[in-house]
Structure 1
Amino acid sequence: MKRTLVLGLLAACCAAQAQVTPPEVEKHQRQELRHGDPARWTKPDRTEAQQLATLRKEINAALAEARTACKQMEQAERADCLKEAQATYVADMGNMRQQLANANNPRQAVYDTSGQ
C-alpha cells in the first residue's frame, strides 16, 4: 500500500515537473480548441501571390528548423551545416516560381533542390 502511494506521488510529482505551459496560456489554448480550426487554415491559396507568400513562409520556417538542428551539432560540424542550410535557403528562394509551377502541375519534371 505504502509503495503504491509513494509511486503514485512520485509519478504525480514528475508529471507536474514536466508541465511547462503557464496556466493562463493553457486556459487560452483550451478556449481556442473549443472554437475549432480557423477558416483560414482550410482556405486554399487561390492566387499566385498567395501561393508564393505561403511558400516563402515555408522556406523561412525550414531555414529556422535547419539552423536549430545545426546549433545542436558538434562545433566542428556546425559551420558546414549552417552554410549548407543557407545555401539550400538561397536555392529555394531563387526557384520559388519553379517550385510553385511543379506543385501546380505535378506531371512536369520535378526540380531537385537537394543538390544531388
Structure 2
Amino acid sequence: MKKIISGILLAASLGIAAGAACAQSTPQGVAQHQQREIARGEPARWLKDDGTMQAQLATKRKEIGAALNEALNDCRKAAAGERAGCVRQARETYRQDMANVKELVAQSNTMGGVHETAGPSE
C-alpha cells in the first residue's frame, strides 16, 4: 500500500514539475545549465552575504536585469499586437527599478530573516 501511495505522489510531483517547467520563460539551454549546476550542490557564493552596500547594489542591479530578460522573453511569446506594449512596459519597469535601486536594497534589508514563499501572498 505504501508503495502505491509513494508511486502516486511521485507521479503527481513529476507532473507538477513538468507543468511548471513549461510555464517558465527561461530558455531551454539556460534551464539545462542551471539543472547541471544545481545537481552539483549549492555553490559557496549562494551562501555568502553581500556585506557592503556596493555589493548589495550590484546584486540588485543583476536581479533587475534578469527580470527584464525574463519579461522580454515573455513578450516574445505574446501575440504580435501585444508585443510592443509588453516590451515598452518591461523596459519602463526596468527603468523605474534601476532609478530606485537604493530604495529597493533598503527595502530588502528591512525584511530580514527567512520568509516562507510557498503559501498565498498577503
TM-score (normalizing by structure 2):
0.58
What is the match of residue 82 of structure 2? 77
What is the match of residue 13 of structure 2? none
Instruction: Provide the C-alpha distance between the structure 2 equivalents of 1:104 and 1:50, rounded to a whole number of angstroms.
Output: 13
The correspondence for 1:104, drawn from 104, 109, 112, is: 109
Instruction: Provide the C-alpha distance between the structure 1 equivalents of 2:86 and 2:39, rounded to a whole number of angstroms.
Output: 37
Deviating beyond 2 angstroms after TM superposition, the runs of 4 or more aligned structure 1 residues are none
Gaps of 5+ in 2: 1-27, 112-122
Calculate the aligned-residue CA RMSD, in Å: 2.7
Taking only the aligned residue pairs, the percentage that are identical comes to 44
Q: Say which one has the larger Rg.
A: 1
What is the match of residue 109 of structure 1? none
After TM superposition, the structure 1 = structure 2 runs for residues 1-116 of structure 1, keeping only pairs within 5 Å, are 29=36, 33-34=39-40, 36-106=41-111
Instruction: Provide the C-alpha distance between the structure 2 equivalents of 1:33 and 1:103, rounded to a whole number of angstroms.
Output: 28
Higher RCO (C-alpha under 8 Å, 6+ residues apart): 2
Q: How many corresponding residue pairs?
A: 81
